[in-house]
Amino acid sequence: MFFVQEAPVNGQTRKLLAGVPELYTMYADFVRRIDRQPSPALQQRVDSLVAGAKTEEEKVRRVYYWVQNNVKYIAFEQGLRSFIPHDAGLVYARRYGDCKDMANLTNDMLHLAGVKTAYLTWVGTRDLPYKYAELATPGVDNHMIATYEPTPGQYVFLDATSKHTPYSMPSAMIQGKEGLLGLDPKNSRVVDIPVIDKARNGTDDASVLTLDGTTLHGTGQLSMAGYTKVDLTYGLDGLDRTDEPRYVKALLERGNNKLFVDKYAISNLDARDQPLRISYAYRLQDYVQQVDDEVYVNLSPERPPPTTSTRPPASCRAATSLPTPTTPALRWWCPPGTR
């Protein structure tokens, strides 16, 4: 990649893209060009959102979730609009914008709420392999968010384009990257964006199965957290009464193609800070094979990966936890006298 670090201007050498300071000078100029207009409606919205908030963090959380819920992401780039956000009041009135618009709206709303340590932030998604020290040009980043610094050196990365991401986590596509924080018109700071521990992105599926002839009846609960929940919530979001049951059935598929989900209930779909839970009841027909007076049941309807080694329980009435990525837990109940 070729870029100009410095060039002669009016007989003097001027640094253009010699490092992060010069890159931020360019970005700060883009921010300065925002056509800012006073918006009483936006101030009223912020005042109503933060009313009664006991902590500054609660104010930030309320503003962030409001932008996620109410502003639709629409990418729009034309000329310098690839770099210059729209005015926050305009984005608020229209209820749509691209990443720059949503970042600027979030940042301005936080400042209107009295939060002083909120910053516009430039970041490259995981599609780009560069660091700011390696390539201090606009080619190093392709995304914009807001960042809140509750205490010195502690950062909360607020990417409102990721609609279902909880307050305490960066969006999945910027994990492990660097963010360029605009502290003021002249000063910036490059900070690391963490990679979220996989333990926060778990899936647990626990069910109780009852044998009735050649049919299995099951009740259980599927729980998802972190980015696993974010992905599933995108799948469930906006489904109608016809498509949602189909989606849930596909999600719970196990055993054979004669699975019937009799009922289910979804909780915490919109509660970003809580695991998503699906309680369900199902029946699996013709899953059991009977030969004379012997009944054969596959005790692993979840079909764990071939590399997973499991030992079936010694009797039907037993519990087994399979070391698969979804850590399903099964409990079997068989008719009296069955071994």
**pLDDT tens, position by position, 69-97:** 999 999 877 778 889 999 999 999 999 99
Are 159 and 170 in contact by the 8 Å Cβ rule? The answer is: yes
pLDDT band for position 325 (cuts 50, 70, 90): very low
- As a whole number of angstroms, the distance between CA 222 and CA 271 comes to 16
More confident residue, 297 or 252: 252
Tell me the average pLDDT across 148-176.
96
Check the CA dihedral 100-104-106-107 and report its sign: positive
Would you put residue 23 in left (φ > 0), alpha (ψ -120 to 50) or beta?
Answer: alpha
Q: Report how far residue 330's alpha carbon sits from residue 32's, in angstroms, rounded to the nearest whole number.
A: 60
- Answer whether 248's CB lies under 8 Å from 261's CB: yes
pLDDT tens track for 226-264: 999 999 999 999 899 899 999 999 888 887 778 899 999
The pLDDT of residue 129 is 93
Alpha carbon distance 135, 17 (integer Å): 9
Q: For 274-292, what is the mean pLDDT?
A: 89
220, containing H or E segment = strand 215-224
The tokens for 214 are 């050649």
Q: How far apart are CA 190 and CA 15, in angstroms?
A: 20
Give residue-wise pLDDT tens across range 4-61.
777 777 887 777 777 899 999 999 999 999 999 999 999 999 999 999 999 999 999 9
Q: List beta partners, residue 145.
A: 121
User: What residue type is 277 in one-letter code?
Assistant: R
What rounded mean pLDDT belongs to the chain? 87
The C-alpha atoms of residue 219 and residue 44 are separated, in whole angstroms, by 48
Q: What are the two backbone dihedrals, phi and then psi, of residue 235, each rounded to the nearest 5 degrees?
A: -70, -35
pTM flag (> 0.75): yes
Q: What pLDDT is attached to residue 97?
A: 95
Residue boundaries of the structural domains of the chain: 6-192, 199-302+315-333
Classify residue 125 as left (phi > 0), alpha (psi -120 to 50) or beta.
Answer: beta
Q: pLDDT tens digit string along 132-143? A: 999 999 999 999
Q: State how far the alpha carbon of 317 is from the alpha carbons of 255, 332, 336, 337, in Å.
A: 19, 5, 10, 11
Which structure tokens are listed for 210?
Answer: 């009852």
Other C-beta atoms closer than 10 Å to the C-beta of 233 total: 19
Give the domain 6-192 fold.
C8orf32 fold (3.10.620)
Quick one: DSSP state of residue 80? G
Q: What is the DSSP letter of 293?
A: T
- Report phi then psi at 8, rounded to 5: -75, 130
Choose between 124 and 252: higher pLDDT: 124
- For residue 166, CA distances in Å to 239, 271, 330 come to 21, 9, 30
The whole-angstrom separation of Cα 310 and Cα 11 is 76
| CA distances from residue 38 to 33, 42, 89, 106, 273 in whole angstroms, order as listed | 15, 9, 7, 16, 33
Quote the CA–CA distance of 134 and 140 in Å, as a whole number.
9
Q: Are 260 and 282 in contact (CB under 8 A)?
A: yes
Residues with Cβ < 8 Å from 77, sequence gap 6 or more?
A: 98
